[in-house]
Structures are given as C-alpha cells and as structure tokens.
Amino acid sequence: MSSNLPPATAAGAKNKPLSPFRKRGSLQYAASTADLRGARHLLTSQHSLPGIPVALKQSIDLRTSMDGKYKEIAEELFSRTLAESEMRSAPYEFPEDSPIEQLEERRHRLERQISQDVKFEPDILLRAKQEFMKTDSATDLEYMKDQSQDPDLQERDPIPVREYQRVAISGEEKCGVPFTDLLDAAKCVVKALFIRQKYMGLSLQSFCKTTARYLQELSEGPLDLDIYEDEIPETAGAADSTVHPPVSKMHPYENQDLASMPHDMGYGCKMVDGVMHVYTARNIMENCDVANRSTELDLPYPDLREYIADMNVMMALIINGPVKSFCYRRLQYLSSKFQMHILLNEMKELAEQKKVPHRDFYNIRKVDTHIHASSCMNQKHLLRFIKRAMKKYPKEIVHVERGKGQTLMEVFETMNLTAFDLSVDTLDMHADRNTFHRFDKFNAKYNPIGESILREIFIKTDNHIEGKYFGHIIKEVMADLEESKYQNVELRLSIYGRCRDEWDQLAKWAVKHQVYSSNVRWLVQVPRLFDVYHTKKQLCNFQEMLENVFLPLFEVTVDPRSHPELHLFLQHVVGFDSVDDESKPEQHIFNLDSPLPVNWTEEDNPPYSYYLYYMYANMTVLNNLRRQRGFHTLVLRPHCGEAGPIHHLVSGFLLSENISHGLLLRKAPVLQYLYYLAQIGIAMSPLSNNSLFLSYHRNPLPEYLSRGLVVSLSTDDPLQFHFTKEPLMEEYSIAAQVWKLSSCDMCELARNSVLMSGFSQRVKRSWLGPHHIKEGQEGNDIRRTNVPDIRVAYRYETMCEELNLITQAIRTDELETIEEEGSLCMGAVQAEK
C-alpha cells in the first residue's frame, strides 16, 4: 500500500523536471509552462495569505486538462447564468436523459482504455497499480487504523471495532472509470479541497479533520489540527461527566461593570478597499498615509485577485465532463452502498439503540440550525400575544405617526378591529399555495393582517417601544424551549447596515429586556438590500454599508468598554448569515473589473459572491483580532443554494463554514461530492422549501443523508410554515413519515445539527460526549446521542475509502511519473545517437 511509500521517492518527485513526454492525459500538456506555474502559484502562494495554518506547498502535481483555461471557462459559465438561457440541462448538471452525450463519453473512454492497455507497463508501475486496485474495505480499515495511531489516541483504551456487515468492492478499477479519468478527477477534487482548506484556515473557521489528514499526506509539513479546535483540555473522568452543560449562576447580561471588562488596546480602525484595517494608534489616522502604514497591525487578509482566480478554477471544475461523470458515479455509488448497509445492518443498529437505557429520540439534543427570530413563534402564539398586549397595554404609545403618538388601542381602532375579531385567519401570515415561487408574496406574509405597522410594533427590535413586545414574545419562546429542555435554536437577528448604531441598538434591546437563554444562540443576518437603501439615499456606496456592519464590531473588540452592551451581547453571537431571495436576477459578474466597494455607487445590487466575499474578508480580519484578544471567533453561515445561479454554492464552498438550504446541489454532482468530502453542514428546511421553491417529495434531503452529507433539519420560519407548538419536532415528524426515516436516521440528523451548530465545544461535549471531536466511532457516545456506533463507523469508513481512492490515485501517478521519467531519459539518450 502506498501508505508505505518510501520517503525517498516522494521527496525525489518534486525536484525532478516535469517531462514533456508523458503519455497519459493528452490535453493536460497543452497549456504553456507559464500558465502552469501561474496555476500552481494559486495553491502555493503564501505571501498574500499569511497565517495559513496548513502547509500548502505541495510536492504533488495537481495539473489537470483545464489549466490555463479557467478564466475563459468560468466567464462563459457566469455569463450563461446572466442570460438565463433555457438550456435542456445546465453545464454543471449530469445529463441523465441525453443519450448522445453518454454514448460519446463511453466511446472516448473505450478508446482511451484500449490505447492504455496496449502500452507496455513497467513492472513497478504494474505492481503499484495492482496494489491500488486491490484495496478493499478490509485493508482500508487496517490502513485507517495505522493512520489513526497518533499518540493522543494510543493513551486511551482502543474501542473495539464494531462488528457489522461491511460492503466491500473488489477487483480492478473498483471505481468504475479508467485510471486517467480517475486521476484527472482526483486532481480536481483535491485542488478544490485545498482551496477550501486555505480559506477556512485563514478565517479561523473549521475544516473537516479527516479530510485535512488525507490532504496532509499529499503535502509537506506537519499537520496542525489544533487551530480548528477550542482550547478546552480533555479532563480525566470526562466520560461520565454530566449530560447537562454547566449553567452560570449569574445572568450573563447582569455584569455591566466597566471596570471588570477587558482593557482598551488603543487600536484604530479604518476601512480600505472594503476591508477593515487595524492600526496601533488611533489619532494619527487622519494624517498622511506613510505614517499609518508603519503602524498597521499585521493581520491576515484574503487577496481579491486570488479569490477571483480560485472562483474561476472552481467554476471550470464543476462543468468538466469527466470530473462531472466521475463525481456523479461516486454519488450514485454512495447511495447504493448505503442501501446495502441498511439492508444488512438495520436490525443491528436498532438493537444497539434499544440497549441504551433512558435515551431515545425525544431526549437527545437537537438544534434548530436555521430559524429567523422574527418568525420563530407560531401563528397561534403571536395571535395570543397580540390579544394579551391589547388587554394589558391599551394606553401605551406604540407608534408615532406624523409627530403624533398613537396608543395600541388607537392603532387597532384605525384598522377597525377589536381583540375579539382577531383570529389566525385574519392574521394571515401562513405561507400557502400562492407563495410557491413567489418570494415577494412570501415577504408580505411577514405583516400581520397585511399591515406593516403591526410588524413594526410586534416583531421589530428598533421601534418606538424599543422592541419591548418583541423581546417579550422571544422570551416566551425561550421559556418553552427551556421547558422542553432538549430543543435548542440559533435565532437570526438582522443588522441592515443602514446606520452605524444598529449594533448598539440591538445589543441594548437584548440586554434591557434580558433576552437570553442557554438554549439559544444568535446569528446575525445581513440582508442583501444595498440597492434599496441606495435608492432611498440612505447609503452612497457599498463601503458605507460594510462600515456600518463591521466598524462597531472592531471597536468593541479593541475596546469592550466603548460598547459595553454590545460586548455582553456579542458573547452569544456565533456567526453571520447573508439573506435575501436568491432567485432575483443578478446584473453583474464579480471579477477583477468589478468596482471596489467605495466605488460601487450603481443602482444595481452587488452580486451574491460580492456580498459574501466582503463579509468573509472583514470577518477574517475581525476573527484574527479577536483570537489575539482571547475572544471567541465568528463563522459565516449564509443562505446558499436555495435558488438562483450555481455560483452561489461555489462561493459558499470557498468561504463559509456551513450553509442553509443547498437545494441546488442536487443538480451539480461535482459540488455535491465536494460538499460531501469537506463535510460541510447543510441546514435543510423541507417544509419551507415546499411552500417556496421545491415540493416536498422532490426535496433532496433523503438522498443527501444516504450519501453521507452532513445535513440537519431546521424550520426557517415557524410563523409561516408550522402549525404546532414544537415546530422542530413537527419538521422531524413529517420528514420521518414522508421519507420513512428510521429512528437511527433521525438521531443522526439530530447529532449532525449539534455538530454544525455554533454552541461552544464545552456545551457540545456535554451533549455529544467527551470525545466528540474525535474521528469516527470514537467521537460518538451512544448514551448521549442515541446514534449506534455502527452507523458512525459506517460513515467514517465510507468517507475514508473515498478520500483514499482519490489520494491513492494521485500518489500512484507520482510513482508512475518517476519510473517513466527514468525510462524516458534513457530513451532520449538513445534517440540522440
């Protein structure tokens, strides 16, 4: 096995000049060497990205047939998304119903196979290849065990590998495509994974540990996984520690004592080209530039050019024919393998669950990973709350109309309504068949009784009553969650970026009304509404919006006492979301010709990837500054791939820790396979989709789950979509019944939801088990998760097999190159004679 690859050969490979006469992969040598170097540089460049944790200097050769053509291919694809042409199948889809393409592909493959077979294969190569083809899951398993023998693991008693029926593929070419296709695809996939790893590392977001380990084998330098983990040390006896996370006795918002807050660092901040820069001094900022440069803090910044280039690489990759069919086949294989696994092990899994005392689906932790605060209560709840408010505070001035205050009673009188008249039907906030593919109609549903004034009074934080009612109703939702104990939510609150004090207002609201629960974490959503505010003359350019969103966060990080409430509130904020209707047509392609944020003064809204890149860039700098101060860091978790062009999912792949929706992955096999290999969390809301974009029976969730993508169930907007008091349970219940999910599937979904959530490692440890960050079944504790070890082991082994297939192909090719170059040198000498 090539895990025993002699180090000498591996090291020797990088020094050898690349032979121009290599026999395989005819296209890949068309590109000029200058192009190749350029393409390589993208991966190896460390100048622009200081602080990359993982050594990206690769000795491996990741050139593919598309090198040097990324830009053209990507631009072609981008412009197609603009044109919205009615294609039979988009270029990134796998055409299942076009026999011509399939026949063509098969013919090419056969030709290549024949030309390959007749060639003389050197002995060493043949042996290497045989080795490669022979690997079946039993040997893979051995291999994995060898690999995981790091000192940390050896200390503990090894958990015996679960006995269950394993599905193994044997024979030559077990992946079903010729070696050249496999190699080209493997290089593309590995390249994409390296790119994601780079962006995750830079922004201090997490990257799948198992994948990182396999990538590491292909590159030089020691693997530093610590950066992805929180600093909590493992303590002895933790295995039996409490299932409930520690609760602090004091209310987290109570301690507003300025003296006890961290001190002021005295730094100054200024936005340059859409990204915040931090300087060691505050007052010299207005003076000349030269002086400022010398005092600038050394923080890592992403490079715009590099991002555009990476975007192009990714775009070209997802429409490459052979890569596409390779990924499609692997995904099909993964589905089929899971069917087999279930067929053989269903009873064993069930038996394992039954053996665990006390634990069942109802008392395992689950997190609603995607839910908006303004619609987190159901209709009946909101209705009751409105009626109660009318009774309790009829004389309270809740609204100012043309300088004149209006009481709650007067507001309802002007609408000609009494408390008795109100019903769920008059409230009319539920999505129905008329909202399907009509996001505009759906947005209007946020207004109770169709009146935006009621929305302002009851579900806003920044109204005349300073969000009093909204705070109360959220606290009622929180109380329900605490009572149910095992359900947790990550509520999204809005920051619009219209003015500088939005963060302070929001924090003041939370602190004043004590809106906090240990079952709740906040995410901050930034709606992509620049065009609206620009038209209303609230913003001149896009940079102003970015400044409004990020400057307060930098200020509070540098000096917590400057925004004391924000400092307290921010401790419970876990990340950013980017929201809006993704199906809105985009008028612009983000490339190097795009105006910088300060010059973005057009009427048009910047495209999705532009928003995401600048949010990512600022978050990266902020996170590194926060890490320096010992504060927690934030992650990017945008709405992505619900509708609209495919490049949203590419941006999401590069920049965000996990995403919401991801529906369009069903059409893009390359991306779906990459989301699988990188184990990117996808928070899915099939009931929400059913009302807006995709009917329930066509939802890809069961398919994703069977393939091993990290999916979780979430509600999105209970106010619009759900009927019961426990919307998350309603979501699980319907999914289980429609798709016939087993209890094991449900528990796996719940475990995924905790893993991808923003709750701290400390909390996750009490919910999932003391070793939850460990790979494979070691990370599982069935007494807490109710997920059988068999299932976890199956997922882990299957993923290792996939990663092994890919990395092995690349290493086998390395071996081949060395041998080949040896013989070619001799051949060349002979030819000269």
Q: Which residues bind Zn ion (CB under 5 A)?
A: 716
Kindly write down the DSSP assignment for every residue of 100-167, as one continuous string.
HHHHHHHHHHHHHHHHHHHS---HHHHHHHHHHHH--HHHHHHHHHHHT--HHHHHSPPPPPPP-PPP
Residue 180 or residue 691: which is nearer to Zn ion going by CB? Answer: 691
Residue 211 or residue 494: which is nearer to Zn ion going by CB? Answer: 494
Strands 711-713 and 681-684, by their bridges, are parallel
- Closest approach of Zn ion to the CB of residue 369, in Å: 11
Cα 64 → chain centroid: 26
On whether the CB atoms of residues 683 and 661 are closer than 8 A, the answer is: yes
- Closest approach of Zn ion to the CB of residue 431, in Å: 12
Residue 716 or residue 819: which is nearer to Zn ion going by CB? Answer: 716
- Closest approach of Zn ion to the CB of residue 370, in Å: 6
Tokens read off for 707: 């393939």
**Spatial separation of the C-alpha atoms in residues 573 and 632, rounded to whole Å:** 9
Tokens read off for 554: 């930098």
- Closest approach of Zn ion to the CB of residue 523, in Å: 10
State in Å, rounded, how far the first CA of the chain is from the last one.
Answer: 39
- Closest approach of Zn ion to the CB of residue 592, in Å: 32
Tell me which residue of 657, 758, 701, 801 sits closest to 199, measured CA to CA: 657
Hunting for tokens 């665990």 — which residue is that?
Answer: 356
Enumerate long-range contacts of 9-14, CB under 8 Å, 24 or more apart: 9/814, 9/815, 9/818, 10/59, 10/814, 11/59, 12/818, 13/59, 13/60, 13/61, 13/814, 13/817, 13/818, 14/59
Beta bridge partners of 270: 277
- Closest approach of Zn ion to the CB of residue 221, in Å: 40
Residue 565 or residue 716: which is nearer to Zn ion going by CB? Answer: 716
- Closest approach of Zn ion to the CB of residue 304, in Å: 29
| H/E stretch holding 179 | helix 179-202
Give the CB-nearest residue to Zn ion: 716
Hunting for tokens 């340059």 — which residue is that?
Answer: 272
Residue 689 or residue 817: which is nearer to Zn ion going by CB? Answer: 689
Residue 659 or residue 744: which is nearer to Zn ion going by CB? Answer: 659
**Spatial separation of the C-alpha atoms in residues 111 and 103, rounded to whole Å:** 12
Residue-wise burial string across 110-147, b where 16 or more C-beta atoms lie within 10 A, e elsewhere: eebeeeeeeeeeeeebeebbebbbebebeebbebbeeb
**Spatial separation of the C-alpha atoms in residues 585 and 495, rounded to whole Å:** 23
- Closest approach of Zn ion to the CB of residue 642, in Å: 8
Q: Torsions phi, psi of 135, nearest 5?
A: -50, 120
On whether the CB atoms of residues 483 and 476 are closer than 8 A, the answer is: no
Helix (H, G, I), strand (E, B) or coil at 490: strand
Residue 61 or residue 716: which is nearer to Zn ion going by CB? Answer: 716
Measured between alpha carbons, how far is residue 301 from residues 46, 50, 172, 331, 341 in Å?
Answer: 11, 8, 46, 35, 45
**Spatial separation of the C-alpha atoms in residues 774 and 235, rounded to whole Å:** 15
Question: Choosing from 277, 370, 661, 772, which is the catalytic residue?
Answer: 661
- Distant-in-sequence, close-in-space partners of 76: CB < 8 Å, separation ≥ 6: none
Residue 716 or residue 816: which is nearer to Zn ion going by CB? Answer: 716
- Closest approach of Zn ion to the CB of residue 725, in Å: 21
Hunting for tokens 């609150």 — which residue is that?
Answer: 493
Residue 310 or residue 577: which is nearer to Zn ion going by CB? Answer: 577
**Spatial separation of the C-alpha atoms in residues 517 and 367, rounded to whole Å:** 14
- Closest approach of Zn ion to the CB of residue 661, in Å: 8
Residue 559 or residue 717: which is nearer to Zn ion going by CB? Answer: 717
On whether the CB atoms of residues 284 and 56 are closer than 8 A, the answer is: no
Residue 62 or residue 377: which is nearer to Zn ion going by CB? Answer: 377
- Distant-in-sequence, close-in-space partners of 501: CB < 8 Å, separation ≥ 6: 552
Residue 638 or residue 770: which is nearer to Zn ion going by CB? Answer: 638
- Closest approach of Zn ion to the CB of residue 732, in Å: 18
Kindly write down the DSSP assignment for every residue of 583-629, as one continuous string.
TSPP----STTSPPGGG--SSSPPPHHHHHHHHHHHHHHHHHHHHHH
- Distant-in-sequence, close-in-space partners of 25: CB < 8 Å, separation ≥ 6: 65, 180, 183, 184
Instruction: For 331-403, list the strands marked E by DSSP.
Output: 366-372, 397-401
- Closest approach of Zn ion to the CB of residue 375, in Å: 9
Examine the residue annotation and report whether 661 is marked as an active-site residue of this protein.
Answer: yes
Residue 704 or residue 721: which is nearer to Zn ion going by CB? Answer: 721
Hunting for tokens 């009093």 — which residue is that?
Answer: 468
**Spatial separation of the C-alpha atoms in residues 38 and 33, rounded to whole Å:** 8
- Closest approach of Zn ion to the CB of residue 716, in Å: 4
Strands 397-401 and 275-279, by their bridges, are unpaired
**Spatial separation of the C-alpha atoms in residues 453 and 447, rounded to whole Å:** 8
Residue-wise burial string across 774-796, b where 16 or more C-beta atoms lie within 10 A, e elsewhere: bbbbbbbbbebbbbbbbbbbbbb
Measured between alpha carbons, how far is residue 322 from residues 169, 174, 194 in Å?
Answer: 22, 17, 20
On whether the CB atoms of residues 741 and 701 are closer than 8 A, the answer is: no
**Spatial separation of the C-alpha atoms in residues 164 and 340, rounded to whole Å:** 12
**Spatial separation of the C-alpha atoms in residues 545 and 539, rounded to whole Å:** 7
Q: Which residue numbers are catalytic? A: 661
